[in-house]
A and B are shown apart, each in its own frame.
Chain A
């Protein structure tokens, strides 16, 4: 394993980025045939996923802080 990847391992959250990109692109590709709408849809899906994750993070953070 390269040192760059090894150094990233402790910041596990960054591993979500390629996963979000891949999931968004593949999902968008199942909805359109042309490339332009695929990329637009993928960008929207990626934003939606990040927002959803942020909401879940906030809820868990508040629960953790409150308990």
Chain B
């Protein structure tokens, strides 16, 4: 038993989560911030680098057009539901969707993250709307950028959970059990092995 305790990884130590709710909120607002608040600096930095790099790389290859919020029937931007997982870096899109009027420049002074103008009923021969033009200009970058920013948002949900509840440790017993089962061989030999371990003679019952 003492040997087993020695073999258990030091990782199973308790993690100081401070105020888990606040940590989760911070983790949502800025990836890694919740962990920095908890004093888990290395993990905070790791989350920040991985998630924000993925998000901004996607934003860059999508020419800054892939993150916008729109709930109009002709353009429901469902990927934004995933993108908003990164918090502050995606939040200006919500503001733009609220205050920008179609066909007019945004009161924020920039059209970054503003929803594109989309034709309700496009007819052949009609000019391309903004969204079609973005797709044409950015090409595959638009789809890839959307994918990267979505994945970043979804990854931050894992980081938020980690800030709230701590890491989901893999139980050392699980690994040990698997190893034991491998060494034991097929299940029919298990009873024999158990008896051997307990020092009892195993007698196989035969029903005739």
Contact = CB atoms under 8 A, between A and B. Distances in A.
Interface string A30-62: 111111011000000000000000000000000
Interface string B166-204: 111110000000000000000000000000000000000
Contacts of A30: 158-159, 161-162, 167-168
Contacts, number: 76
A32 B46 CA distance: 12
A31 B167 contact: yes
B30 interface: no
B141 A1 contact: yes
Contact of B47 (A1, A9, A26, A34): A26
B140 A9 contact: yes
A12 B57 CA distance: 14
Interface residues of B, number: 36
B141 to A, nearest CB: 6
Contacts of B169: 31-32
B155 to A, nearest CB: 5
Contact of B61 (A5, A23, A25, A29): A5
B108 interface: no
Contacts of A23: 151, 155
A41 B165 CA distance: 20
B40 interface: yes
B15 to A, nearest CB: 6
Contact of B11 (A15, A18, A34): A34
Contacts of B144: 9, 12, 15
